Amino acid sequence: MELPGKQAEQRAFPDGILTLAAPNPLVTAVCRSFPLPLYGHRVANPSLLLHPKGGLMHKKVRLFAGVASALLLATVMASCDDDDITGIGGDTYTAGLSAANERPIGASTATGTGTVVFVDNGTSIDWTMTLNNVTGVTQSHIHAPATVDQNASVIINLFMPNGPTGTVNGVVARGTITDANNANFSLAAIRVLFNNGTAYANIHTSQVLAGAIRGQITRD
């Protein structure tokens, strides 16, 4: 059996045939872990490489080649062992919410704070909203495109309670954004906005209808 690489060279000796081949990098790396001499390497005792046709040495070469192929297959499979089948995702984005971020400046007198964390999974974006001492939440959204000093239209709904909440603390809502459940704005377009820092999360309350606390969505 001939190893991958350049054409093997065979030289006749009284006791058999010595096969020399340019070493394949993967096979060489595997075989270096074995004490036996390998093709393509000079050895102190060449007789160790002498073998009759179809003899023991051919079996050893087939064994080494099989080990190398198995390791290559394992490497490829490991590199493919990922839930993200698109090759996109893995990024996390956060919006830190406060009244000071609302525009125009001074538009909100709310004292609560919060965060919304977005995790890009490739085929979806999961979000978790945490609010602290916020009263009367009526709705919340992602708005875009806008810088920190601009206002923009709603592109995605987030936490949408049936009516104004009481005072809330802790995690109040979780959700998932996909292309299927948000047909008007694709995940690809959302990633562009998030990566450019041109989208913000906004919490609306019964006390401050236009927006009580807000935060620009930025990549962690």
Q: Where does the pLDDT of residue 25 fall: very low under 50, low under 70, confident under 90, or very high at 90 and above?
A: low
Torsion angle defined by CA atoms of residues 7, 13, 16 and 21, in that order, rounded to the nearest 10 degrees: -20
CB 192 within 8 A of CB 173: no
Residue 32 CA from chain centroid, whole number? 34
Q: Where does the pLDDT of residue 55 fall: very low under 50, low under 70, confident under 90, or very high at 90 and above?
A: low
User: Which domains, and CATH codes, for the chain?
Assistant: 9-80 (no CATH), 92-219 (2.60.40.200)
Q: Where are the alpha helices (DSSP H) in 56-124?
A: 56-80
The letter for the amino acid at 78 is A
Please report the pLDDT score of residue 70 as a whole number.
Answer: 52
What's the pTM? 0.63
Mean pLDDT of 166-175: 98
Check pLDDT > 60 for residue 1: no
Q: What percent of the chain has pLDDT over 70?
A: 60
